[in-house]
Structure 1
């Protein structure tokens, strides 16, 4: 039996409502902070498409008020599950904006695990949105993804990532990291998100790197979802390089 749910999140953003709208209502804007690759057909009745790991999820836009409100909804699956998203934008003083997100719908039998994953995942993605608008406003990124299942649990995954970063002890916001990925320029940056044991983010002058561990119920996977702003870098080549890096980590 399906389970109805509603999830709410707020985030304060150092950006104008127009800048926030561009980030949430266009494909290139969404690609600069969210997972996968997105396409948006503007206007009420238009379609949104999210492509991730070869899977495409489509939704219909149910509200389109530029600078104020955006909503969409997927078609119900045979088991009755569906997802609806609503973004509410409210301008503040000094060019800042409050973004309110409401995600609702019907989840399947494993709804508790799904709900927890979405709640924590949104903390990472909204933190990435804030970093994008603060540090890369006016630019768009190429999304780069990699995936490795069955990594032997969160502790083992983060130990391997921490060692690769050259950091002693648990990762914390503000830590400086330097590491290499074969075929790419050396990476030097700062840990800007530390939501362990689920996610870690590293910001460099030309990228937002995101590392996410899923629970055992969701495949015990280490997932990379990066946003590369560097001009001239081939996304396909970068994706291969990161997959090789991930596959080489001493995990399960």
Structure 2
């Protein structure tokens, strides 16, 4: 058994079609809102390769129509598992751009429900992060930071400590102010811009911070830093130490 699934998202942003295309169809653009580091080989039959720090997701480009349509599909597993993405861009005469995203795939097995729920929540967070990028940082590119917490017997408990560690209420809401000074890291002064049961997002003037519960694994931070001259290695080490303290 298993489940075929499909998710539709749509938004209108002030960014130009060119800015939207760069965000969804180039490595530096995808790095500015998605996890890991991505390389895009352009053109139909090309590839999208996302390195998550040891695990690499490989996809084939199935549609390449600059400023209009971009689609790719992940390699299919032996059990039929796959995920595919299709982005549709429509410029508006009065300005702005409509972006539509269709995500679909197949989840194998009889216990697909939990994974399906996690994928929907994760997809919602990443689409919201893409919208935040196009709304607040169009035309800029970020240094991506993706770090996992140490494995523990109760990974969920680590995520549940995040609000207190950031000076937030136990159940933060979109719009809550954030002023935190994580040890060894720049101060965070911004606003909560995304919340669901598995993720908390914070936007500052030069960053998008994302804290994710993780599915059947450790908590993850996946941040996008738009400041210049970011020391990526040093910043990842500092967030790894922050997660270790949170997990202790």
Scaled by the length of structure 1, the TM-score of the pair is 0.90
Matched residue, 1:131: 132
Scaled by the length of structure 2, the TM-score of the pair is 0.91
What is the aligned counterpart of 1:229 among 222, 226, 230?
226
Q: Does 2:244 correspond to 1:242?
A: no
CA shift at 1:93, angstroms?
Answer: 4.9
Q: Distance in 2 between matches of 1:21 and 1:108?
A: 32
Q: Distance in 2 between matches of 1:214 and 1:37?
A: 18
Counterpart contact for 1:181–1:241, Cα < 8 Å: no
Residues matched between the structures, number: 246
Counterpart contact for 2:89–2:97, Cα < 8 Å: yes
- Structure 1: stretches of 5+ with no match in the other structure: none
Counterpart contact for 2:159–2:212, Cα < 8 Å: no
**Worse overlay, 178-187 or 30-39:** 178-187
Q: Does 2:107 correspond to 1:107?
A: yes
CA shift at 1:25, angstroms?
Answer: 0.1
CA shift at 1:230, angstroms?
Answer: 1.1
CA shift at 1:137, angstroms?
Answer: 1.3
**1:73–1:180 Cα change, 3 Å:** same
Q: Distance in 1 between matches of 2:73 and 2:133?
A: 25
Deviation string 1:45-95 (CA, Å, 9 cap, x unpaired) is 111101113111111111100111111122322222222211111223542
Matched residue, 1:29: 29
Q: Distance in 2 between matches of 1:51 and 1:61?
A: 17
Matched residue, 2:72: 72
Give the RMSD, CA atoms, in angstroms.
1.9
Q: Distance in 1 between matches of 2:187 and 2:153?
A: 25
Matches within 5 A, 1:1-252: 1-109=1-109, 110-148=111-149, 149-150=151-152, 152=154, 154=156, 156-195=157-196, 197-215=197-215, 218-219=216-217, 221-249=218-246
